[in-house]
Amino acid sequence: MSQKYIILGAGPAGLSAALKLAEAGEKVTVIELENQVGGLCRSIRKNGYFFDLGGHRFITKDQNIQHSLEEIMGDEFVVRSRKSVIRLKGNFFSYPLDIKSVIKNLPLSFNIKAFLDYSLTTIKRKFFPQEDKTFEDWVVSRFGKTLYDLYFGPYSEKLWGIPPSDISADWASQRISLINLWDAFIRMFGKTKDEPKTYARRFYYPRRGCGQVFEMLADRITSLGGEIILNAKAKEIKMQGSSMEEIVFQNGKEEKSMKADFLISTIPLPDFMRSITPTVEENLLQVAKRMNYRSIKFLNLMLDKEQVTDNTWIYIPESEYLFFRIQEWRNWSPTVVPEGKSGVTLEIACNEGDEVWNASDEEIFKKCLEGIENIGLFKKEDVIDYFVLNVKHCYPIYTLDYAEKVETLVKYINTLDNAISIGRQGLYRYNNMDHSIKMGFMTAEHFLNGLPKQEIFDIATEKKIFDQ
Ligand SMILES: Cc1cc2nc3c(=O)[nH]c(=O)nc-3n(C[C@H](O)[C@H](O)[C@H](O)COP(=O)(O)OP(=O)(O)OC[C@H]3O[C@@H](n4cnc5c(N)ncnc54)[C@H](O)[C@@H]3O)c2cc1C
């Protein structure tokens, strides 16, 4: 006989779990806060333009996930190439930062300093290796202080809002493209023709934005008899001992409740812990309280201009600009903008409740347009329309003690009989979408066939994820 599952959140993790369970003949209900599916991977459509919440590339090493998505997406999944640059000191540097563009764009004195610093650092690391605890340690011991001060330090501080010395080295080791500067140096003199192996230049992207993947997945779930309730906020998880009994959620003006045999939560871990009744132990709530997420404001601009640059995105490390990255949608796919037009998104990192978060859309637009005009990309007259999206839970902040906090809460989740918390928000894990899809698939396996929970918790904990 089929069992009943409630899944909180219709992002990649929740929908992937729902799909596998529905395919196995189980009854699934997905409860989603927003008015559309996809979570952070949703795409917003406006006047013929599609905007992701920051560009989302699909890349995976997992052939099972690759084949599943290709089967669902068919011809809608297209291979695209990436071209991205760093805009710094009035110049555009290639990304990942390479020695060639540093030499080309910066004075000889800087280059000599950076070269000596990099060489000494490389020798020191070889003969006296040391454990890297912080983001700063990790980068300085690989690139040298001069290059760290030029780009990595300022960009990270802008993105995270805290000094890189307070960020765990895990984030750097998983995310920074370790393009070997020596390798780039040799390449410059034409000694090797191989592509740098560390740089993911190609990726999959749907014709109608990243969100299309999850809209198609949701269609398949409903065609199998699954239910997806939008505009519904999970408020309370009622427990009887270590068993989940019932979920209470707000659906528009109505408060509703639903019983189920199993619960899969993908909502932010601190929210999950706070929603449990009877209330969990105070020490767990205190840990949850200290788990913060970096928020982003997305300024989406519809332009009366065919193309601004040929870059998919541009990194902006300098603090004088409010935004840290610029995405140009035509270069992601010409099918996501009306003919002859381009769309651009500026990403602005902030914390919920701070000055930037509280700024009006007009203030954000004005300040960002000043920056864009200063860089010389386009003018205010090119903007047909714009809108701003505020997203609270974007990046789990990998503070130096983040792993301990996660471990404490995961220990608690491990004690639950019929409930689990997974996904980027649910495990406070810097997942890419393929990790969340994998967690969803494996969670279905856990409930259907007894796959150990720990195998799910271990996803995306490896030292290196993929190169940016
Ligand atoms: C700016 C940015 C760029 C990114 N770029 C890439 C990329 O290029 N490639 C890549 O692979 N990954 C990228 N990612 C990561 C990717 O977005 C995530 O890995 C993925 O969305 C995680 O899926 P998830 O289902 O775990 O979480 P989410 O997508 O966050 O889904 C969680 C869902 O839970 C819902 N929810 C929250 N609270 C409640 C509640 N109380 N009740 C009901 N529902 C609730 C949310 O609305 C959301 O729909 C990027 C992320 C960001 C922020």
| Closest residue by CA, ligand 1 atom 7 | 56
Distance CA 439, CA 456 (A): 6
Same domain? For 119 and 191 the reply is: yes
In what helix (H) or strand (E) does residue 443 lie, and over which residues does it extend? Answer: helix 433-449
Ligand 1 contact, 269 CB (< 6 A): no
Are 177 and 193 in the same domain? yes
Q: Domain check: are 357 and 410 in the same one?
A: no
pLDDT at 465: 56
Distance 13 CA to ligand 1 centre (A): 8
Asked if residue 189 and residue 98 are part of one domain, the reply reads: yes
Is the residue at 361 inside a domain? yes
Check if 211 has its Cβ closer than 6 Å to any atom of ligand 1.
Answer: no
Tokens 């408060």 -> residue: 255
Decide if 184 is inside a domain. Answer: yes
Closest-CA residue to 229 (of 6, 30, 9, 15) = 30
C-alpha to C-alpha distance for 216 and 58, rounded to whole angstroms: 15
Question: Are 313 and 282 found together in one domain?
Answer: no
433 pocket-lining for ligand 1 (C-beta < 6 Å)? yes
User: Which atom in ligand 1 lies closest to the alpha carbon of residue 59?
Assistant: 11
CATH number for position 380: 3.90.660.20
The answer to whether position 346 is within a domain reads yes
382 and 436 together in one domain: no
Cα of 424 from ligand 1 centre, angstroms: 6
Mutate to test the pocket of ligand 1, among 19, 30, 34, 40 (most ligand atoms within 8 A of CB): 40
Contact 175 CB / ligand 1 (< 6 Å): no
With respect to residue 56, please indicate whether it lies within any of the assigned structural domains: no
Asked whether residue 54 is assigned to any structural domain, the reply reads no
Please tell me whether residues 249 and 340 are part of one structural domain.
no
Decide whether any atom of ligand 1 lies within 6 Å of the 325 Cβ: no
pLDDT of residue 438: 97
Q: What is the pLDDT of residue 178?
A: 56
Distance 143 CA to ligand 1 centre (A): 31
Residue 463 lies in a domain: no
Q: Note down pLDDT in tens along the chain; length 468 residues.
A: 889 999 999 999 999 999 999 999 999 999 999 999 999 999 999 999 999 999 999 999 999 999 999 999 999 999 999 999 999 999 998 887 777 788 888 888 988 898 899 889 989 888 988 888 999 998 898 888 998 998 889 999 999 999 999 999 988 877 776 555 555 555 555 455 554 444 577 899 999 999 999 999 999 999 999 999 999 999 999 999 999 999 999 999 999 999 999 999 999 999 999 999 999 999 999 999 999 999 999 999 999 999 999 999 999 999 999 999 999 999 999 999 999 999 999 999 999 999 999 999 999 999 999 999 999 999 999 999 999 999 999 999 999 999 999 999 999 999 999 999 999 999 999 999 999 999 999 999 999 999 999 999 999 887 665 544
Residue 299 CA to residue 323 CA, distance in Å, equals 9
Q: What pLDDT score does 210 carry? A: 97
Q: Which of 364, 396, 428 is the last residue of a domain?
A: 396
The residue to mutate among 41, 237, 389, 437, having the most atoms of ligand 1 within 8 angstroms of its beta carbon, is: 41
Pocket flag, ligand 1, residue 8 (CB < 6 Å): yes
The CA distance from 254 to 239, in Å, is: 22
In this structure, what CATH number is given to the domain that contains residue 133? 1.10.3110
pLDDT given at position 255: 98
pLDDT for residue 183: 57
Regarding the beta carbon of 10 and ligand 1, being less than 6 Å apart is answered yes
> Rounded to 5, what percent of the chain is helix, strand, coil?
40, 25, 35
Note whether 265 and 320 are same-domain residues. no
Identify the pLDDT of residue 198: 44
Query: What separation in Å is there between the alpha carbon of 12 and the centre of ligand 1?
Result: 7
Are residues 148 and 217 located together in one domain of the fold? no
DSSP 323: -
The count of domains in the chain is 3
> In testing the pocket of ligand 1, which one of 266, 298, 315, 350 has its CB within 8 Å of the most ligand atoms?
266
The CA distances from residue 433 to 32, 192, 198, 254, 460, in Å, are 17, 34, 20, 32, 11
Identify the pLDDT of residue 197: 44
Note whether residue 51 is domain-resident. Answer: no
**What distances in angstroms separate CA 198 from CA 101, 153, 435, one per listed residue?**
18, 21, 19
Q: Give the distance (Å) from ligand 1 centre to CA of residue 170.
A: 20
Main-chain dihedrals φ then ψ at residue 253, nearest 5 degrees: -85, -10
- Residue 338 Cβ < 6 Å to ligand 1: no
Q: Domain range spanning residue 268?
A: 4-39+62-78+206-290+400-457
| For ligand 1, atom 5: residue with the closest CA | 56
Domain CATH for 422:
3.50.50.60
297 pocket-lining for ligand 1 (C-beta < 6 Å):
no
Q: Residues 355, 430: one domain?
A: no
Q: Indicate the residue among 396, 416, 445 that finishes a domain.
A: 396
Q: Is 466 helix (H, G, I), strand (E, B) or coil?
A: coil
Residues 355 and 407 in one domain: no
Q: How far is the CA of 159 from the centre of ligand 1 (A)?
A: 17
Q: Report the half-sphere exposure of 78 (CA within 13 A, side-chain side).
A: 16
Whether 233 lines ligand 1, by a CB cut-off of 6 Å, is: yes
Is 322 within a domain? yes
CA 292 to ligand 1 centroid distance, Å: 15
Please identify, among 198, 224, 247, the residue that sits at the C-terminal boundary of a domain. 198
pLDDT at residue 416 in the model: 97
3-state secondary structure of 418: coil
Based on the fold, state whether residues 283 and 415 are members of the same structural domain.
yes
